[in-house]
Amino acid sequence: MISYTVLILFSISCKNASAQSNIIAIDVLLEPGKTMLDSAKVYNEMMQKNYSGPGSYSLDELHTPHMTVLQCFVRASDLEKVYEAVAAVVKSEKPTKDKITTSGFYYFPYKDLGLAGITATPSPELLDFQAKIIEALKTYIVVGTDAAFVQNSDGTPIAAGSSDYVNRFIQDHAGAKYNPHVTIGLAHEDFLKALIAAPYHKFTFHCSSVSIYHLGDFGTARTKLWTSAKK
């Protein structure tokens, strides 16, 4: 006979699983214009030539080049409110009018690899936009797990640490700690260290729109949920 305690624990487990199934990992991001897109694709091809193993990817419709403003977990049932809140900030701030200047490269270590990106200078306008997006969405942000990401089609788990990164995004990657960048792919660390050490030529670019994506593995923008771009 199943004990009363076991039934209670099973009920709690089911409720927790149900709650997590309603949570989605999102990225509120800036979609760069052609100047940045062309540069990102060139470097992405270099990344793939250096490393073509598990996790390597092309910049395509499933891995959209972007500059993250905020990553967070929200309830799927709140998405329409999230869209409205972001739209209001975009309307008032008009971030696509701002000129953004690149500053170099960076990478996030992962095993013996690095997830690399082209970095941008966090201008006062960009920092202000991020702050207002965070303020607009703070009432909708919840704690999430790996289940909230777009799952890998090959069945491999979401990269370790992904949920922690999103849960701590505001604490670790906002304001003075904000590192705006466009991710360009995975490569071996020695390759990335040489890339960072080489002379770098800065350039400026604009962004074409603000969008919200469902996050995939390695912080990729997998599924577009909403965009400010005119149809």
* DSSP code for 65: -
Prediction pTM value: 0.85
pLDDT tens profile 61-86: 778 899 999 999 999 999 999 999 99
- CATH number for 153: 3.90.1140.10
35 located within any domain: yes
The helix/strand/coil state of 151 is coil
Rounded Cα distance, 11 and 9, in Å:
5
3 located within any domain: no
Cα–Cα–Cα angle for 200, 205, 208, nearest 5°?
145
Rounded Cα distance, 181 and 184, in Å:
9
Contact between 218 and 163 (Cβ < 8 Å) = no
pLDDT tens profile 181-223: 999 999 999 999 999 999 999 999 999 999 999 999 888 888 9
Rounded Cα distance, 19 and 8, in Å:
17
Which residue range forms the structural domain that includes residue 171? 22-227
pLDDT tens profile 126-146: 999 999 999 999 999 999 999
Count of structural domains, the chain:
1
Copy the structure tokens of residue 144: 């999430």
